[in-house]
Amino acid sequence: MSTIADRYRKHADAFERRIAAARPGQWTSPSPCEKWTARDVVDHIIMMHGAMLRPVGRELSPAPSDVLGAFQAARADVEALLDDPTVATTESPTPSGPMTAEEHVAKVLIDDLILHGWDLAKALGQDATIDQAEVERLWTTNTAIPAEMMAKFRTPGAFGPGIEVLGPEVPVAPDAPLQDRLLGLIGRDPHWTHR
């Protein structure tokens, strides 16, 4: 059975491969996230790595300025957290309520790596297929969110300045592939392309 650390590494590896495959000049390409470039997507993911560390009194280490190096430094910090059994199981307050550091990574950062991995793939012109098991898990999780909480997720700034969890729902045909329906639910146009 895979641990949270194993799952994190799997999705961090996939995100890192996307970064490494980018061509020079692609970092200013638009992404499906309105107002964000491909580089902004990675910067958001790096910022979210820092958000996993702060509840346990840690910060991101100094990082190189290149995109790949910056992501690798952030993931090394989160891997160090997950590999320390005492810190990983320390319960702290988070915007979603008290949880252990590893639960926080599982419920927030892993999902961010998957969904923003789609954003990054689209921005960089890569294959944006999400693993079907993760699509099914994320669909089940997101459709179980109460309407009141979903409305909060869609309210910019509800979880802190500049934080927008979900965009407005994008209508998708009920018989569309599950990945498309998931993307529409979280506020993405599954058919987004460079304009």
Q: Which residues contact 189 (CB under 8 A, 6 or more apart)?
A: 32, 170, 183
Whether 60 and 156 map to the same domain: the answer is: no
Question: 3-state DSSP call for residue 177?
Answer: coil
Does 80 share its domain with 52? yes
Q: Answer yes or no: do 101 and 112 share one domain.
A: yes
List the chain pLDDT tens, one digit each, 195 residues: 679 999 999 999 999 999 999 998 999 999 999 889 999 999 999 999 999 999 999 999 999 999 999 999 999 999 999 999 999 999 999 878 899 999 999 999 999 999 999 999 999 999 999 999 999 999 999 999 888 888 888 888 777 676 777 888 999 999 999 999 999 999 999 999 976
Whether residues 98 and 57 share a domain: the answer is yes
Same domain, 11 and 81: yes
CATH of the domain at 18: 1.20.120.450
Same domain, yes or no, for 44 and 96?
A: yes
Same domain, 156 and 99: no
Name 127's Cβ contacts closer than 8 Å, sequence gap at least 6. Answer: 121
Please name every residue paired with 90 in a beta bridge, in sequence order, or none if there are none. Answer: none
Looking at the structure of the chain, the number of domains it has is 2
pTM: 0.93
Same domain for 10 and 103, yes or no, is: yes
* Residues 135 and 113 both lie in one domain: no
Beta bridge partners of 92: 99
Domain containing 195: what range? 131-195
Residues 106, 140, single domain; the answer is: no
- Rounded to whole angstroms, the Cα distance separating 58 from 68 reads 22
Do residues 136 and 97 share a domain? Answer: no
The closest of 80, 36, 83, 31 to 59, measured between CA atoms, is: 80
What are the b/e assignments for 8-21, b being 16+ CB within 10 Å? bbbbbeebbebbee
